[in-house]
Amino acid sequence: MFKIGLVSVSDRASSGVYQDEGIPSLVSWLQTALKTPFITENRIIPDEQAVIEQTLCELVDNLHCHLILTTGGTGPAIRDVTPDATVAISDRVMPGYGEQMRQISLHFVPTAILSRQVAVIRKKCLIINLPGRPKSIKETLEGVKDNQGNAIVSGIFASIPYCIQLLEGPYIETHEQVIKSFRPKDAIKSKL
C-alpha cells in the first residue's frame, strides 16, 4: 500500500485559531490524481523546528511512509523553518524539486522567488515541502498548462512515481488527465 504522510506546518492551524486547508486540499488532489490506492498519515503541527524534525522522522522511521508532503513554513519569515527542519533530517537533498516548484510558481506570482521549498530523501522516503495555499499546492503539483490542458511546465508530481520506484517503493500510477507521470520505457510495468 502506498503510504503518504501529509504535514501542515502552521502555528495558527495547530492551535485551532483557524481550520487547516492544506491537508484537505492535498487529500482531494491525491484522490483525483492517483489510480494507485493510498493511505495517509496526517499531522497538523506548529512552526517549531524540533517538532517538524520529530514529526518527519516518525513518519519515515516508525510509520514507513513512501512520500511526505508538507505545506507551509517555506518563506523567509523568521518562523518559517520547514525547509531547515527537512534538510536537518535528510540523507540526501533533491534540488531539482525546489527549482521546479519556484519555476512553476513564478508563472503565477512574482514572490515565488522568496520560496525556500526543498525536497529530500530520508532512508527510502521522498519528502517535499509544498506551499501553504490550496491553489498554490495544486499549481505546484500539476504545473503550468495551456488552455487545452497541455503542460507548458511540468508539475512536480510527474516525477514522483518514478522517484519512489527508484527508492524501492510501490509502483504508482496516475490519471493522465490530471498529471501524466514520467518513467523511462524500461521502468514501465506492462499491463497483463
109-120 pLDDT, tens per residue? 999 999 999 999
Q: Which pairs with CB-CB distance under 8 Å and at least 24 residues apart come from 138-142?
A: 138/25, 138/29, 139/104, 139/105, 139/107, 139/108, 140/101, 140/104, 140/105, 141/29, 141/33, 141/179, 142/178, 142/179
Does a structural domain hold residue 39?
A: yes
Query: DSSP for the chain?
Result: -EEEEEEEE-HHHHTTSS---HHHHHHHHHHHHBSS-EEEEEEEE-S-HHHHHHHHHIIIIIT--SEEEEES--SSSTT--HHHHHHHT-SEE-HHHHHHHHHHHHTT-GGGGG----EEEETTEEEEEEPSSHHHHHHHHHEEE-TTS-EEEE-GGGGHHHHHHHTT-----B-TTT------GGGPPPP-
Does a structural domain hold residue 33?
A: yes
User: Which residues have CB under 8 Å from 108's CB, separation 6+?
Assistant: 136, 139
The model's confidence at residue 150, banded by pLDDT at 50, 70 and 90, is: confident
Share of the chain above pLDDT 90, in %: 85
Structural domain boundaries enclosing 30: 2-187
Task: Name the CA radius of gyration of the chain, rounded.
Answer: 16
Q: What is the pTM of this model?
A: 0.95
Does a structural domain hold residue 192?
A: no
CATH number at residue 88: 3.40.980.10
Residue 18, pLDDT score: 86
Does a structural domain hold residue 119?
A: yes
Distance CA 113, CA 30 (A): 26
3-58 pLDDT, tens per residue? 999 999 998 888 888 889 999 999 999 999 999 999 999 999 999 999 999 999 99
Does a structural domain hold residue 164?
A: yes
Residue 14, pLDDT score: 84
Domain count, the chain: 1
Does a structural domain hold residue 37?
A: yes
Does a structural domain hold residue 57?
A: yes
Does a structural domain hold residue 94?
A: yes
Q: Round the average pLDDT of the chain to a whole number and report it.
A: 94
